[in-house]
Amino acid sequence: MDTEHTGVDSGALDAYSRVVTGVATKLLPSVAALSVRTARGQGAGSAVTFTDDGFLLTNAHVVAGANGGTADFADGTETRFDVVGADPLSDLAVVRVHNPGAPAAPLGNADELKIGQLVVAVGNPMGLAGSVTAGVVSGLGRSLPARDGRRLRIIDSVIQTDAALNPGNSGGALADSTGTVVGINTAVAGYGLGLAVPINSTTRSIIGELVANGRVRRAWLGVAGVPAPLPPALAERLNQKLGLRVVEVVPGSPAGNAGIYLGDILITAGGQSTQSVQALQRLMLGPAIGADLPITLLRKNALVDVVTVPAELN
C-alpha cells in the first residue's frame, strides 16, 4: 500500500468533511421545514431564515395558494408562519414566523461562483431534522422558465449543481464553503442534477420588494427581441458581440412611443449591454417604472439614441 498517497487522500477527505460539517453546523439552525395546506392538498418544503426578526426565504411554488402554515426547526421549535409575499416569476417567496429566534443565515453573491466550486445543500425536508448534501457547481448561467398565469419569464443565472436534492428540499439553502447562502434550491432537474435560484443583485431587489410590499412590481417596455450579431467593426469598437434584434413592438407601448421599430438592434439600455433577453429583463424591476431609460440601438448601420419610460406590468 502506498502509505504516502493514502495519507494525502485521507487528509483531503478530512478537509472536505470539515468543510461540509462546518457548513451544516452553521446553517441547520437557520433552516426550517414548512408545511402548508391549500385547496389542492398539503404541501411541504424548506425555508432559510435571513433576518433576526423572523423573515425566511423559500420558493414561491412551496407556498403557492397558501396564506400561512407551520415551520419546524431542527432544534424542535414549531411555530406558525404567514406568507409575506411570493413571486412566481422568480420562484421566490418570503414568509415570517410568529415566534422568531432562529439565527439569520448570511446571504452572499452567486455571481462570484466558479465551475467546480464546492457547494452544500441544506434543507429540512418534511421535518427530518435537517438534510445536508454536498457537491460542486456543475453549471452557471443556466436558464429556468417560470410562469405566472399567462406570463412567462426566464429565471437567469440559475446555478446547476450535482449536490443531491432530496424531496422537500425546495426552498432550502445552497451555500458555499464558508456557510454563506448563494442560492435557494428550486428544482430537481434530473438524476444527479439540481438547480438553485441565485442570490445576486437582481434577486436581492426582488426579496426587498417582497418584504416591503408583499409583491414585486415589474416594468414593461412592450418590445420583444432575439440575440443578433453586431457588425464586426462595431462589435470590436464596442467590445460587444451581440445585441437584441427587435421582432415585435406593441403599439402604444413605452417602446413604441419612444420610436423603437422592428429590425432595430438594441445595444445598451440604461448603460448596460443588452446581449440577451435576460439582460434587458434584469432591468425591468420596480425602480424602472416611470423612470427615463436611455437606449442605444443600431438602425440601418447608424447608432441611434432614444429614451423610453417603462410602465408598470399589470
The Cα–Cα gap between 52 and 54 comes to 6
DSSP letter at 157? E
Residue type (1 letter), 139: G
User: Which among 170, 253, 273, 276 is annotated as catalytic?
Assistant: 170
Q: How many CA atoms lie within 13 A of 88 on its CB side?
A: 11
Residue 90 backbone phi and psi in degrees, to 5: -120, -5
User: Which among 72, 87, 91, 264 is annotated as catalytic?
Assistant: 91
Q: Residue 3, SS3?
A: helix
Q: 148 catalytic, yes or no?
A: no
Give the Cβ contact number of residue 269 at 10 Å: 23
82 touches 67 (CB < 8 A): yes
186 touches 173 (CB < 8 A): no
Cβ contacts of 68 within 8 Å, gap of 6 or more: 36, 80, 81, 82, 83, 95
The Cα–Cα gap between 3 and 309 comes to 69
Residue type (1 letter), 213: N
How is 266-279 classified by DSSP, letter by letter? EEEETTEE-SSHHH
User: Which among 30, 46, 61, 87 is annotated as catalytic?
Assistant: 61
Q: What angle do CA 204, 47, 314 make, to 5 degrees?
A: 50
255 touches 222 (CB < 8 A): yes
Q: 91 catalytic, yes or no?
A: yes
The Cα–Cα gap between 241 and 243 comes to 7
Q: Which residues are catalytic?
A: 61, 91, 170
